[in-house]
Amino acid sequence: MSATSSSGRITVQDIARMHADGQRIPMLTAYDYPTARILDDAGIPMLLVGDSLGEVMLGYESTVRVSMDEMLHHVKAVVRGTQRALVVGDMPFLSYEQPDQAVENAGRFLREAGAQAVKVEGGVRTSRAIETVVRAGIPVMGHIGWTPQAKLGMGRVRVQGRTRDAAQRLLSDAIAVQAAGAFAIVLELVPEQLAAAITARLRIPTIGIGAGAGCSGQVQVVTDLLGLGSFVPRHARPYAHLRETIAEAARAYAADVTAGTFPGEAESSRMDESVLAEALGQGELDRPSPDTLRIPLDRDL
């Protein structure tokens, strides 16, 4: 990436330029300040504060439970952790049903949380809301294929667009999202040939997740990439195994605390013994015996 806005942040125009230059666009989800800093320093140009937040960070059983306030809270943290990445806030379930409501809530992502764009699920169905938000000056990323907020209506998680009618519907959805003014579109769980055909028919970049290598870019849920979750979806590739790393670190720490080897000299500080003796009002410093430190148990009282 070379071209960025004067603020140093990547803009939707930069993303369009990357796409026009034939560069594939890497995108990751982020939900918190320290991870956002690392991903930003690593040069990831677009970070999505996805409503997958609900499932992977907040322990909800579905993204449908995530509220505007929860999304804004996490977008703020990711914005604070980044200097270059374009931050996209995911509009949660029922936050963009009516165009006016969509503008109001999309505006909150930019004004209150500092995001540079929002993402909206749905194709033809939500194209009016997308158009209204774009007209208000807010960059929008679309999202079609498997759309987690529609889980209750769509049934179990599965690849979308495998039949002739479903494939045509997806193509119409993609064209509607582009016509509504979106700057990019996520294709989730779409057969790779269909995703490549949609990509070839659009001017805007497609960002795939479980949609093959023929998309203009890829997005992954960061906990899948890092091997943090208990389950890795088939379309994800863990590039690290942090679940085991964290568990190992926690076990080693607990063992050291139990054995009395943490903290050691390196992690402790000392003071002048004579000052301590003065502070305690003693001529000579008596080390407390383990017995004097023992917390009395019920049976001792």
| Residue 174 or 219 with smaller CB distance to ligand KIV | 219
Task: Select the residue whose beta carbon is closest to ligand KIV and give its number.
Answer: 50
Query: Which x/- pattern over 231-260 shows residues binding ligand KIV (rule: CB under 6 A)?
Result: ------------------------------
DSSP string, 105-160: HHHHHHHTT--SEEEEEBSGGGHHHHHHHHHTT--EEEEEES-GGGHHHH-S----
**What is the C-alpha to C-alpha distance for residues 187 and 143, in angstroms, rounded to an integer?**
6
- In 3D space, the residue among 55, 56, 133 whose CA is nearest the CA of residue 91 turns out to be 133
In the region spanning residues 73 to 112, those forming contacts with ligand KIV, defined by CB under 6 A, are 90
- Residue 70 CA from chain centroid, whole number: 13
3-class DSSP state for residue 70? helix
Beta-carbon contacts of residue 187 (< 8 Å; ≥ 6 apart): 144, 145, 174, 195, 198, 199, 206, 207, 208, 209, 211, 215
Let me know: does 130 contact 177? Beta carbons within 8 Å. Answer: yes
| Residue 61 or 267 with smaller CB distance to ligand KIV | 61
Q: Which of 11, 29, 116, 199 forms a contact with ligand KIV (CB under 6 A)?
A: 29
Query: Which x/- pattern over 136-155 shows residues binding ligand KIV (rule: CB under 6 A)?
Result: -------x------------
188 is catalytic: yes
Q: Which of 71, 186, 211, 228 forms a contact with ligand KIV (CB under 6 A)?
A: 186
| Residue 90 or 131 with smaller CB distance to ligand KIV | 90
| 171 is an interface residue for ligand KIV by CB under 6 A | no
Q: Which of 51, 131, 173, 224 forms a contact with ligand KIV (CB under 6 A)?
A: 51
Residue 9 sits at φ, ψ, to 5 deg, of -85, 145
Q: Which residues make up the interface to ligand KIV (CB under 6 A)?
A: 29, 48, 50-52, 90, 143, 186, 188, 209, 219, 221
Q: Which residues does the annotation mark as catalytic?
A: 188
